[in-house]
Structure 1
Amino acid sequence: MATYDTIGATYARTRQPDPRIAAQIHAALGDATDVINVGAGAGSYEPPQTVLAVEPSQVMITQRPPGAAPAAQAVAEHLPLRDNAADAVMALLTVHHWADLAAGIRELRRVARRRVVILTWDQHVFRERFWLVRDYLPQAGAFDDTRAVPTDQLIDLLGGGRQEPVCIPHDCIDGFGAAYWRRPHAYLDPRVRAGISMLAQTGDDALAPGLARLAADLATGSWHSRHAELLALDSIDVGYRLLVTEH
C-alpha cells in the first residue's frame, strides 16, 4: 500500500486548513494550555498552543510551514513522550492509517492529561450520503471499508466521550475526500485526487471508468439535474465526526 512518503509529496498544495473546521476543532480543544498533534501531517489545524507534532512521514514533516511547532518522526503506537505530557492530544484524519489502533489510542490517553480530540468519519454515513463514492467511485468506498474505524469502536477505546458532526462547507479549502461535494469538476483533476488518500491509494486505473462517467454526466448536465438540491446547500453532513473525550 502506498504511504505518505509517496502520496504525500504535494499535500501542502491542496490541503490547507479550512477556518470553519478549524474553529470547531479548536473549540473542542477548549482551554488546553498545550496540545500535541499526532499523525500531524503538514500541520493543518494546529492551534497556537501546539507544543509538538508527531508524524511518521519525513515527506510530510518537510511540508510543515515555517514557525510551526517542532515535529518528531514517530508513530502513534509508540509516542516518544512521557505520561501526561500535555493538556490535550489531537489526531485528525489519521487513525485509519495506524497499524495498531488500540495501541495508538492507548498512547493518546497516556499522553493526554485532560482531553483527546479525534477527527474521523462514519463510513456508513459517508458511503450513503456522498455521491462520489456512492454513484461513481464505489472502488474508493470499498477501499475505505478496509480501513475505516467505526466511531462507536473509537469511543469505546477512548473510554467514552461525545461525537460532533463536522459539516463540510461548499467552498471548503481543505481538499480532503468530500471537500468538493458541490464542485464536482474538481475530482477530475489529478492534482486534487493526489491529496485525497482514498483516491490516491485506490489508484487512477481503478477509478478511470467512474471518472469517465462523471466527466460525461458533467458535460451533459445530468449531474447537475440529479443533484440540484445540493447546489442550494451551504454545507453538508456526509459523516465526518469529531470525537472528544475528557479524562
Structure 2
Amino acid sequence: MVENLQQLECLEISECKGIHEIISKEKIIKEAFRTRYLICFPRLNSLKLKGLQNLIGFCHEDYTVEFPTLKILEIENCPQLKGFIHNSTSKEILTDVVLFNNKVAFPNFEKITISNLRNTKRIWYNQLHTNSFSILKKLTVKKCDVLLNIFPLFLLRVFQRLEKLVLIDCVSLEEVFQLQVQGLDIEETYVLNSQLREMNLVRLPKLKHVWTKYRKGNISFENLQ
C-alpha cells in the first residue's frame, strides 16, 4: 500500500477515533518492500494529523521513515501520541515521551505546529536524523502540558534558521532554550548566530527564563525584534 503512495503530495487525516497508527506495523510486515525497513514519501509536502484521539504514532520504530520534500507538519489534539515514530504498544503507558527521534528524516521542514499533545515531555531526541529540521523557519507549540523546555543544548545548532517561535498555554514549560544542563560539564564551546526574529510567549505560568547566560559559548539572538 505504501509503495502506491509515491505521488502523494498532501495528506490530512482528522477526527478518526479508530486510528492508532497511520501506517500499521502488522500490515507492513505482510507487504513486500524493496527496502523492508525504509519507508519514503518522496513527494509529500504537507502532513496534517488532527483530532485523532487514539493515535499513538505515525508508525512503529522498526522502520525508518523519510519525508524528503515535506515542508509543513501539523499535529493537533492527538492526546495519546507516544512519538511520531513510536516504540510502544497501544496499551503501554509511557512516562517520558519524545516526539521526534532519529528514525525519521525531515530535511526540508519549514513549519511545524503541535498542540494538545498530553504525553509529550520533549519535542526532540538528543540525536536527530542527519540534516533534519536544519531549515525549520516557524515552530508553534500550544497546550502541551508536560513540556519542560523547547530546545535542548545539544541541538541548538540544528535550529539556527528558525525565524518565528510561538509558545502558548504550556503550563509546565520552565525554559525555552536550555543553555545549561545541571550536573553536566559541557566541554564544547558553542558559537551560534540565531536567525530568530519573532518570539511570542503566551500564558506560560511556570516559565523561569527564556535562556540563561552560557559561560562556554557565544550564542547570539541579535535578530530578535
Whether the TM-score (by the shorter chain) exceeds 0.5 is no
* Larger strand proportion of the pair: 2
Q: Given the two structures, how large is their TM-score scaled by the length of structure 2? A: 0.26
Higher RCO (C-alpha 8 Å, min separation 6): 1
More helix by share: 1
